[in-house]
Structures are given as C-alpha cells and as structure tokens.
Amino acid sequence: MHPYLAEFIGTTLLVVFGNGVVANVVLARTKGHNSGWIVITAGWAFAVFIGAFCAAPFSGAHINPAVTIALAVAGKLAASKVAGYLLAQLLGGIAGGTLVFLFYREHFKVSDNADGKLACFCTAPNIRRIPQALFCEIFGTFVLILPIFLMTEPTVRLAVGADTVETPIGLGTIGLIPVALLVFGIGLSLGGTTGYAINPARDLGPRIAHALLPVPGKRNSDWAYAWVPVAGPVIGALLAALAHSLLL
C-alpha cells in the first residue's frame, strides 16, 4: 500500500472511532448517551491504536500532521513526503467526519444541542480564552510528541515499493499500545480545557465536513477558533522536536 493511502485510511479510522465515541456520548437517544468523559477518552485511545495499527506497516502511522512535522524537522522523514502526508491526513479527517455523520444521522436529527453536534466533529474550549486555549494545545501536543520520540523504538527504515519510509514508532502491537495509552492519559489529565485536539487533521478535517454537510439544526463551524487546534499542535510539535534534539 502506498504510504499516502495508508495515512488516509489510518486517519479516517482514527476519526471514525474517535468522533464516533463523541457522537455516541453526546447525541440524543444513543445507547451511550451521557456515558461521560472517561468513555470518550477511552474511545479516542482505541481510535489511535486502530488507526495507527492499520497504517504502521506502510507509512509509519503518523495519522497526525503534528507527528509528520516533528519527524520531518528531526530529519526522520524526507521533506518531499511532507505535503503528501499532510494532504492524506486532512482528507482522512474529512472522510471520517462524514462517515460519523452518516452513521449517526438519525440521532443528529433528534438532538437539539447545536454545540453538541459540532463537538461530534471538532473541538472547542470550555472557557473561551484564546491565549490559554492555544497554550493548552501547544502543551498537550508537546507531551504527545516528545514521549513518542523517547519511548518508542529507534528509527526503522521500511521499503514500501519504490519508497523508503523512516519512522521511530514501533511497528508491532507492543510499540503502538504505549502511544494509545499516552493519548488516553492526555485526555484524562489535560483534555478538560480544549478537548485535546493535539492533531490538526483530526480537528480541521471534520470541521470542514461539518461546514459542508447537511447537519440538521447545525450552528456555524466556529472558524474564529479553528486556527487554534491547527497552530497549537504545530507549535507543540516543533518544540518537542527541538527538545528531543537537545536531549540527544
């Protein structure tokens, strides 16, 4: 499988399972309605594992522009591949958001909370202080990327057709479980402020889907805030790559 296709599929699965659990908890008359934050954070941890596990043998399982940017800055991914990875991840986010809408369409119809419907696609701060929200996204992504560098296997070179992919992420089940647990921990400990996007594609892709789809009773897609879960993770990833280089 081509690495870009793997990133698209992996990110799509990430959003299907991640935003899917949000929809199950938030939307009216679902089996999981009001089951709480721990269910959401656990669902997102499983989402990361599933998406990464499927993409790992072919692309290194970035499924997150912040990871791609950090690896490129660290010299572990060719610069020529960055744009393709980012585009595949964004399209995967749009596709995943669309599939969640189609799956829960009847529940979107019977739900009255427009903010809750938006939450099934993208994040928002519970206290709208943009500088603080930006800091939370920067810090949350920093403590995602730096541990990925530190706790996973050394760089592995994969021959995928005519391409060679480099990744520090372990390719087996054992290598990906710590990453999923890391995301679970971030959600439990640091997710209460902004909803821990920590992934531009996971937020921007579904937000675009929300803007384009005929979601019943939807509000605006909050484009005034949309730059925060994009810029914050990118800045956090760059800082983590810098910190890792200083630790070597």
pLDDT one digit per residue (tens) for the chain, 248 residues: 999 999 999 999 999 999 999 999 999 999 999 999 999 999 999 999 999 999 999 999 999 999 999 999 999 899 999 999 999 999 999 999 999 999 999 999 999 999 999 999 999 999 999 999 999 999 999 999 999 988 764 444 444 455 555 544 444 455 789 999 999 999 999 999 999 999 999 999 999 999 999 999 999 999 999 999 999 999 999 999 999 999 87
Give the tokens for residue 109: 């119809």
DSSP string, 84-137: HHHHHHHHHHHHHHHHHHHHTHHHHHH---HHHHHHTTS---SS--HHHHHHHH
Residue 160 carries which DSSP code?
Answer: E
Query: What does the alpha-carbon distance between residue 62 and residue 87 come to, in Å, rounded to a whole number?
Result: 12
C-beta separation of 195 from 205 below 8 A: no
Domain housing 139: 3-247
Give strand pairing partners of 156: 167
Q: What is the CATH number of the domain that holds 179?
A: 1.20.1080.10
What is residue 169's predicted lDDT score, i.e. its pLDDT? 43
